[in-house]
Structure 1
């Protein structure tokens, strides 16, 4: 019982520290997550014969090259397409009024013109408000130079913190492991491995799936000559954090743009073909290779965790949301298995003297079964 109170006090202290120092902790939490994501690559460089310092430096060179390429290639293209989208909005409204609205009224009897006017007025009003908010924000930054410098400092600290955490990652893990009470060590290491599997399957696997889908959609739509193809592909890949949502959102937007741009059924067929290729690649190649048979976080859990973390602890809470959700998921599975092996659940088939080792073995067996049932 006394040990339980120590655990509760420790968790309260951690939660209070995050709440009070959320803005200060942001670069450290971000650096920790980036170090966790980059550690497998650093380990791979070490297996190729590099020492840890050279391996970490090589990781940073790879990340720097990717960052520079995105700045030089992707970001200007996306900004250009956003500008083109803003310029095309009046033409889109005109096309809807002249072509789409009469067809809708002929098929359904519903007058779309009145709703279109309301949408236009709402967009104009919000656009003006957004401009006002932007002006206020810029004015606030100008008046609060110290806050702006602090924010820039925090952002600049992220790669520094990431470098040093990545450099000493294994030693830090060993030091934390040595602090765990010995009678908790076996269960703690098993739960830590399970948390790592869940986080790896989502943070590493799902993010790579999203990136690959975004590339497939963007390249396919761009080769079709579709306007805003790169932007649509980028948004579709980003929204793919929720299964099928990226496919649905991207397909609908691409179909509307294709009908507006080409006004032929061949364009519709081309868009459907691009997104079908993306779905086939995800089901046959991406998920089996990148996610494997590990149990990831449910999409609803991801959305709830991010919203709850942001509401409670701001930006730091958003960064901590997924790791904390993974830990909670593993702990809930542990509680479930222990409950199912308790007298409260079934006193007929459970020995009163079931040991923790027996429960842990059953827990491992049931998780293995869950992996096989839930593997994509």
Structure 2
């Protein structure tokens, strides 16, 4: 057994390039796993830098010096952020407050519907099952109330954290854009010289991450805007709030669309019941999700779509469980990283096997 393990280890890790790649991957994994909470503002700034750097690069190709391009792009980003913060977020918060006020009426409608089920379908559901469901819902609402209280008690800390993000993230974003090449060169100084294989993987994954972030932000905007327009057109209440939820649901492939269907359908049912508007809502929402999955996603993420859906779901579950929100957000790029590492590793092993055969024949 020991000889078998030694033979396997020599076959896979005899090349210094493979060892360096493994060390970099393990070091990065441990760093993010242990310091993810502390480094969260850094991750936010890096994501925004990936999002905006291509605009700076485009301006540079037009003949504008990089420093002036950075100033222009950063100023535009700050302006858009302020407009969203002062214009859109208050409207979303207002609709959320209205939803909270309307919640008791919604619960009464749910109670009326549930009370009528034993009479309408006596062979499928009994009054005892309805009472058990009430008891379960009561426990859930109680735990939800405790959660609301705990969140209200920690609101001061959340406000302080938000203030830290509002100051540190724009500051780091500016320097990430301005001094991008200097920062990269500083990090490369600390890496081993035998990193050709790691460089190859990084070049491929770096391009994938940039394209993925830009595509994902564009997908969020398109899906959210189309949902908001459709919800407003048919007169659905809380259309802006639900449109934002639908837009952000695309962060979690497959799972997000299924989860956000529940609040959309519930609000439509509470507003119209099982009338024609409710079914038009479900039909239009289904069309938006179908166009997103079959037209928009293949257009924006042509290379990421090559990943099997099972691989994407496993990546979401695994990296989301390890790194939380950022693991979910970067699930597809991380899955692409794994795929690139496996491909590079197979190439190294193939080259080593060919060299061994040549030496044996000679």
Q: Please indicate, yes or no, whether the TM-score normalized by the shorter chain is above 0.5.
A: yes
Q: Which residue of 1 aligns with 2:64?
A: 50
Instruction: Please give the secondary structure, in 1, of the residue aligned with 2:111.
Output: helix
1:333 maps onto 2:343 in alignment: yes
Between the aligned partners of 2:221 and 2:50, the Cα distance in structure 1 is 18
Q: Which moved more, 1:274-283 or 1:63-72?
A: 274-283
Given the superposition, is the C-alpha separation of residues 62 and 303 from structure 1 closer, same or farther in structure 2, using an over 3 Å criterion?
Answer: farther
Q: Is the 8 A contact 2:208 2:333 kept in 1?
A: no
Q: Cα distance, 1:181 vs. partner?
A: 6.2
Between the aligned partners of 1:189 and 1:8, the Cα distance in structure 2 is 13
Q: How does 1:276-315 map to 2 (within 5 A)?
A: 276-283=286-293, 285-294=295-304, 295=306, 298-310=312-324
1:169 maps onto 2:186 in alignment: no
Q: Which moved more, 1:148-157 or 1:80-89?
A: 148-157
Q: Is the 8 A contact 2:312 2:331 kept in 1?
A: no
Number of equivalent positions: 338
Given the superposition, is the C-alpha separation of residues 329 and 284 from structure 1 closer, same or farther in structure 2, using an over 3 Å criterion?
Answer: closer
Q: Is the 8 A contact 2:70 2:177 kept in 1?
A: yes
Q: 102, 106, 118: which is aligned to 2:135?
A: 118
Instruction: Please give the secondary structure, in 1, of the residue aligned with 2:63.
Output: coil
Q: Cα distance, 1:126 vs. partner?
A: 2.0
Q: 195, 198, 204: which is aligned to 1:194?
A: 204
Q: Is the 8 A contact 1:22 1:317 kept in 2?
A: no
Q: Tell me: higher relative CO, structure 1 or 2? Use CA pairs within 8 A at least 6 residues apart.
A: 2
Q: Which moved more, 1:23-32 or 1:315-324?
A: 315-324
1:29 maps onto 2:29 in alignment: no
Q: Is the 8 A contact 1:42 1:52 kept in 2?
A: yes
- CA deviations 1:325-358 (Å, max 9, x no partner) are 5533421333345557776xxxxxx674489xxx
What is the aligned-residue RMSD (CA, Å)? Answer: 3.8
Between the aligned partners of 2:298 and 2:326, the Cα distance in structure 1 is 32
Between the aligned partners of 1:259 and 1:65, the Cα distance in structure 2 is 39
Between the aligned partners of 1:342 and 1:134, the Cα distance in structure 2 is 57
Q: Which residue of 2 aligns with 1:76?
A: 90
Extract unaligned runs of 5+ from structure 1: 142-146, 344-349, 356-376
Q: Which residue of 1 aligns with 2:4?
A: none
Q: Which residue of 1 aligns with 2:7?
A: none
TM-score, normalized by length of structure 2? 0.76
Given the superposition, is the C-alpha separation of residues 327 and 133 from structure 1 closer, same or farther in structure 2, using an over 3 Å criterion?
Answer: same
Q: Is the 8 A contact 2:205 2:340 kept in 1?
A: yes
Q: Which moved more, 1:39-48 or 1:240-249?
A: 240-249
- CA deviations 1:173-193 (Å, max 9, x no partner) are 4565687666643x3443222
Q: Cα distance, 1:210 vs. partner?
A: 2.8
Extract unaligned runs of 5+ from structure 2: 1-13
- CA deviations 1:267-314 (Å, max 9, x no partner) are 12321332233134324542243223345671330332132125xxxx
Q: 216, 220, 223: which is aligned to 2:233?
A: 223
- CA deviations 1:156-198 (Å, max 9, x no partner) are 112111111111224444565687666643x344322221243
Between the aligned partners of 1:5 and 1:259, the Cα distance in structure 2 is 58
Q: Which residue of 2 aligns with 1:204?
A: 214
Q: 55, 61, 65: which is aligned to 2:75?
A: 61
Between the aligned partners of 2:180 and 2:240, the Cα distance in structure 1 is 37
Given the superposition, is the C-alpha separation of residues 102 and 17 from structure 1 closer, same or farther in structure 2, using an over 3 Å criterion?
Answer: closer
Q: Is the 8 A contact 1:42 1:56 kept in 2?
A: yes
Given the superposition, is the C-alpha separation of residues 318 and 265 from structure 1 closer, same or farther in structure 2, using an over 3 Å criterion?
Answer: closer
Instruction: Please give the secondary structure, in 2, of the residue aligned with 1:241.
Output: coil
